[in-house]
């Protein structure tokens, strides 16, 4: 685990050690360090690594890591969950792998299979490999983009810069630091800046499941190495078979993560919700020692309850459920109490400094306080239930999508009658009125798609002025690109109309 930085250039002055050190230290949260750097002026390459936890400080994890004949070097960030399987395969091919660390296995894998090694990786990763034997720098990012990787290419100076975080790239003098209007507009649409965009002009994110090859004097070549294929329909599959298959896959996923982090005591964030409860339950089943679980709660006074118009006892209902789950599975549970007496403005400032780009999730402040508290407790690695809503349809928009599918089966006169009498429905939350408005919009269009996001096209002129102001044509292009990706031949849904 760690972060990476690097420069590939034809200009010697851009290989200054102090510059690389500034880039590295911009994302070194444990203090500055002039180790973990390697500069090869004869190759035009400079690489750096930022270890995040003590396990990365062992000799067999030192980065940048060279192969035995000094022709290839790698910097790696992330985790390869099937590392042992790849190591076993390499040894059957005659490769001697000294450790079970991801970095060495990846480097030996590249020696064995070249860029095809990326197809064998199961995990979250971002890495760069300089192959001086062919004069190529190769970058890759995991299939779903869990590990970040930014880059900047200055054609005028023949300089390519990359880093795990935007802050490191901003240290380089060729980067202008100007705001990218399209990145800003996309943030207002989606609540985050989607790849390949960033908020800084000229800086891009390497897209998930993509790799990049850089050679001196050439434009970087972007390749997509993996794409989600058609999802199999399960209508004819027995429910018991679906359930058993899901359980076995889920158990394997948790086991692999426990195995890869066996140097640490098993720990998890426990909100009391379904997702984190399932993770903690499986961890408790598989782990030989009690799982450490952590949650947050809020100090609620009578004034707070009055403002929120709620019973003070209901404000921490999730935390109470987390305690009950902990008792059921026998975990060692700890709870962080967040109080209004804390310096929340200061915490917000630390959030801004920690994030490379803004993100609209309101839980970020709480998560930063929780992460800082975990560090004080000596906890380096935790498992969570994050991401499962996207996989299993747990978001409100997924329920809304199903409602639209049902409404499409009704004649328009009946839909209109139901909508007109929505205040008389016995259960107010059965149908979202938004579903009625969206179902009559033409499917697979910008008009339909734009109703899902934060701001509509007509609202941008009120939000943005001057050089950041936009017309609807720019916003249309953002939506059109998203439509194109949703409707590509390998993104297939059984009901495309319901998709939007």
Identify the burial level of 205 via C-beta atoms within 10 angstroms of its C-beta, where 0-12 means exposed, 13-18 middle and 19 or more buried.
Answer: buried
Q: Which pLDDT score, from 0 to 100, does residue 116 have?
A: 97
> Is the same domain home to 12 and 132?
yes
**What pLDDT does residue 230 have?**
63
Q: Are residues 198 and 251 in the same domain?
A: no
- Please give the pLDDT value at position 229: 73
Q: Does residue 484 share a domain with residue 367? A: no
pLDDT of residue 499: 37
Question: How many helices (H) and strands (E) would you count in the chain?
Answer: 19, 15
How far is the C-alpha of 486 from the C-alpha of 500, rounded, in Å? 10
Q: What is the pLDDT of residue 414?
A: 84
Is there a cis peptide before residue 439, judged by omega within 30 degrees of 0? Answer: no
CA atoms within 13 A on the CB side of 80: 25
Predicted pLDDT of residue 131: 96
The per-residue DSSP string of 155-181 comes to: TTTTEEEEESSHHHHTTSTT----B-H
Task: Report yes or no on 233 lying in a domain.
Answer: no
Determine, yes or no, domain membership for 232: no
Pick the closest to residue 132 from 272, 267, 291, 8 (CA basis).
8
Q: Examine the domain organization and report whether 177 and 257 are in the same domain.
A: no
> Nearest to residue 482, comparing CAs of 453, 455, 442, 460?
453
**pLDDT for position 190:** 80
- Confidence (pTM): 0.86
Q: What is the pLDDT of residue 492?
A: 37
Alpha carbon distance 10, 12 (integer Å): 6
Distance CA 226, CA 224 (A): 6
pLDDT tens, per residue, the chain with 500 residues: 789 999 999 776 668 889 999 999 999 876 555 678 888 888 899 999 998 765 545 555 789 999 999 999 999 999 999 999 999 999 999 999 988 789 999 999 999 999 999 999 999 999 999 999 999 999 999 999 999 999 999 988 889 999 999 999 999 999 988 999 888 888 887 888 989 999 999 999 999 999 999 998 889 999 999 987 766 666 677 889 988 999 999 999 999 999 988 889 999 999 888 899 999 999 999 999 999 999 998 887 655 555 555 565 666 778 889 999 999 999 999 999 988 777 888 888 888 888 888 888 878 888 999 999 999 988 989 999 888 877 777 777 677 777 777 777 888 888 788 777 767 765 545 566 666 666 766 666 666 666 666 666 667 667 777 777 666 566 667 667 766 765 654 443 433 333 33
Number of domains in the chain: 3
183 and 257 co-located in one domain: no
Residue 491 has what pLDDT? 41
Range of the domain at 115: 2-224
Which residues, in sequence order, are CB contacts of 85 under 8 Å at separation 6+? none
203 with 243, same domain? no
Pairing of strands 332-338, 292-298: parallel
Residue-level pLDDT at 410: 81
Pair 91, 23 in one domain: yes
Instruction: Answer yes or no: do 102 and 80 share one domain.
Output: yes
For the CA atoms of the chain, what is the radius of gyration?
25
What is the 3 state secondary structure string of 281-300?
Answer: HHHHHHCCCCCEEEEEEECC
From 362, 390, 418, give the residue that closes a domain: 390
């Amino acid at each position: 685990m760690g972060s990476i930085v690097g420069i590939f250039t034809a200009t010697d002055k851009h290989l200054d050690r102090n510059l690389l050190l500034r880039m590295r230290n911009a994302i070194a949260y444990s203090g500055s360090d002039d180790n973990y750097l390697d500069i090869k002026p004869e190759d035009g390459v400079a690489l750096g690594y930022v270890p995040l936890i003590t396990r990365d400080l062992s000799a067999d994890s030192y980065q940048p890591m060279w192969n035995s004949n000094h022709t290839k070097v790698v910097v790696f960030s992330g985790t390869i969950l099937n590392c042992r399987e790849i190591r076993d395969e390499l040894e059957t091919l005659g490769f001697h792998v000294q450790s079970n660390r991801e970095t060495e296995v990846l480097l030996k894998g590249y020696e064995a299979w070249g860029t095809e090694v990326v197809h064998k990786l199961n995990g979250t990763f971002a890495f760069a490999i300089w192959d001086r034997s062919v004069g190529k720098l190769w970058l890759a990012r995991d299939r779903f983009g869990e590990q970040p990787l930014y880059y900047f290419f200055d054609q005028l100076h023949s300089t390519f810069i990359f880093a795990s975080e935007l802050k490191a790239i901003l240290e380089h003098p060729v980067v202008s630091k100007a705001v990218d209007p399209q990145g800003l507009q996309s943030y207002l649409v989606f609540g985050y800046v989607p790849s390949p965009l960033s908020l800084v002009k000229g800086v891009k994110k390497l897209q998930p499941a993509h790799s990049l090859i850089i050679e001196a004097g050439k434009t970087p070549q972007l390749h997509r190495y993996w794409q989600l294929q058609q999802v199999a329909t399960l209508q004819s599959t027995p429910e018991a078979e679906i359930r058993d298959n899901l359980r076995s896959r889920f158990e394997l996923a948790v086991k692999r993560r426990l195995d890869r982090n066996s140097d640490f005591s098993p720990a998890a964030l426990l909100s009391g919700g379904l997702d984190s409860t399932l993770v903690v339950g499986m961890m408790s089943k598989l782990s030989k020692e009690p799982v450490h679980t952590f949650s947050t709660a809020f100090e609620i006074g009578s004034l707070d309850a009055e403002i929120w118009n709620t019973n003070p006892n209901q404000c921490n209902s999730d935390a109470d459920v987390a305690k009950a789950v902990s008792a059921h599975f026998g975990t060692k549970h700890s709870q962080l109490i967040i109080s209004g007496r804390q310096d929340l403005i200061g915490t917000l400032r630390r959030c801004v400094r920690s994030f490379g780009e803004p993100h609209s999730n309101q839980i970020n402040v709480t998560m930063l306080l929780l992460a800082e508290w975990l560090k004080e407790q000596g906890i380096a690695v935790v498992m969570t239930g994050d991401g499962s809503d996207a996989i299993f349809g747990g978001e409100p928009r997924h329920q809304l999508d199903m409602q639209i599918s049902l409404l499409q089966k009704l004649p328009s006169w009946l839909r209109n009658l139901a909508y007109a009498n929505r205040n008389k429905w016995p259960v107010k939350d059965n149908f979202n009125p938004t579903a009625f408005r969206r179902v009559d919009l033409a499917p697979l269009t910008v008009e339909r798609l734009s109703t899902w996001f934060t701001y509509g096209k007509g609202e941008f002129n009120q939000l943005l002025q001057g050089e950041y102001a936009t017309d609807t044509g720019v916003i249309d292009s953002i939506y059109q690109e998203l439509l194109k990706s949703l409707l590509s031949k390998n993104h297939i849904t059984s009901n495309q109309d319901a998709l939007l």
